Structure 1
Amino acid sequence: MNLLNKKVTHERFGTGSIVDHSDSRIEIDFGEDNKTFVFPDAFEKHLVLQDESAAHSLEEMIREKESERREEELQKEEEKELERKKHELRAEHEKLMKNHKLHPESQMVFWCEPEEKQLAFSKWKVYSGEIKSGKNKGKPNKPSRLHQNSAVLLTERNSDMPEKERKILGVFMVNEEFIGKQSEDGIVPAHSVYRLQLTEQESARMNFWNYYVNEKSPEKMTWNTGKYRYFDNTMMAQILRDLASLKKDPEEQELAQQFFEHFCKMNQIMDQELPQPDGALMRKS
């Protein structure tokens, strides 16, 4: 908008002529002295354009700028409110972490169906399934034992194979901010760093029942219903230790070792004192 040489009137300085202006400043020659004003704000209070056409265009500009200013203020308020809510969530999270006591079986083993396996490794998350009976039937299962010390073991068993052939496909720590007790959708997301997928050859060497045993029925290897079950923290540490030894790619091996060390730290496990696997399959042999 070109306002050069346009006449203006000021309530105190009288009539002047615009000699320079930018997006934020305007300079006016009042004869004896030049004055600089904030543009276009000064036209809302002190200055009046004598050119009606230019004045109309300027009013439109002022309205647009005011609208933009209100939007910016609204956005700042929304950002401020969002930050306040984040602060409250962080405070609540820190409180839960402070009061959290390690459960000895706070690890999850998940049964991947063929269509779920692809999703698990592409999106790095699993769905804990739905409640099958009772007043909450149809609602997502709440993985209440999972916390920041928890990992999720991904396994599969082909329908034509016995349960003892269940293989380990991969593993991930839960997301850094995840707390199972607060989960409402049954989705368990992975940690941003600690996640491992096994090759077919590696998976063939990692049998789940080498590590897992149901102490109530140690001679049985059964998984009849449910998408997941909880298991012992020490068993998961044994699996992670063996994965670190199994990986041959230097980068994957380094990540697996870091994963193992992080897990032991989070679960207060001394890796030097970790026993050898003693799962149901090991006891049978």
Structure 2
Amino acid sequence: MNYPIKQLEKLARKIQELLGEYHNEELRTLNFDIPWEERTRMSMEASSNFMRRAGVEVLPNVQKVLAEIEALLEGEDKAITERIRPILSEAKQWADHPTNPLGYAELSTQLMRLAGHLSVRVVAKPTIFIGYRYTAEDEKLANKFIQLFELEGFKCVSGKTAKAEDIDKKVKKLIDQSEGVIIIFTREKELKDGGWTTSRWLTDEKAYAMGRGKPVLLFFENCIAQTERKGIHGELEYVEFNREHLDEAFLKAIPYLRDFRQRVLERKGHE
């Protein structure tokens, strides 16, 4: 997100500049050779001048920038939104009704605080186990999916590097260590009545993940028979794909992935 951080800092400095001029005016009222009534008038005039200038030169721009930030947060990662929104709300409160120079001093502080938090972009990247068939053809396919998953904020791991004799143990360990599981079911054997079977191994991975209470998201190749799918997905939602037209499936998958990511983060927050 391209947040107006420099504008926030510039506005905060402008407030400090006006406050400096105001305080210089206030210092003149400490001259006790000037009658008390005159010093009171001078103090009120200094405050009035400050409020007028700040209200014209700063406040409208502050309110505009804060509104812009609020709009940008609508498309932001939830973890960042939850961190920034309370600070933004406090800044907006001070910007709504600054009644005196002290209010503007606090507003300046809040603007710098907000700028600091916006400049630190910390996004949680949950670790997700990706299950797929380890054939050359399906590995190429899985790599395309993994690129999408990483763009959507996941750190992806798989059992591809495990040796044949210990792959089951390795996969179970990876699932245990992951925060969620995505399985890409692809065709394995063609059925006489039409459609294809899929890997029993992937079915076992899905069952193990569910048994461990992991959030699970499934992808099914469109040629896999419905009779095969029903016993696998149960009540789980899944995304269907055609390996010849992955772009269409990826567009469809994005909202599912974002919902899945949110479920993963919420589960992590409750652990």
Give TM class, smaller chain: under 0.3
TM-score, length basis structure 1: 0.26
TM-score, length basis structure 2: 0.27
Q: Which has the larger radius of gyration?
A: 1
Structure 1 or 2: larger helix share?
A: 2
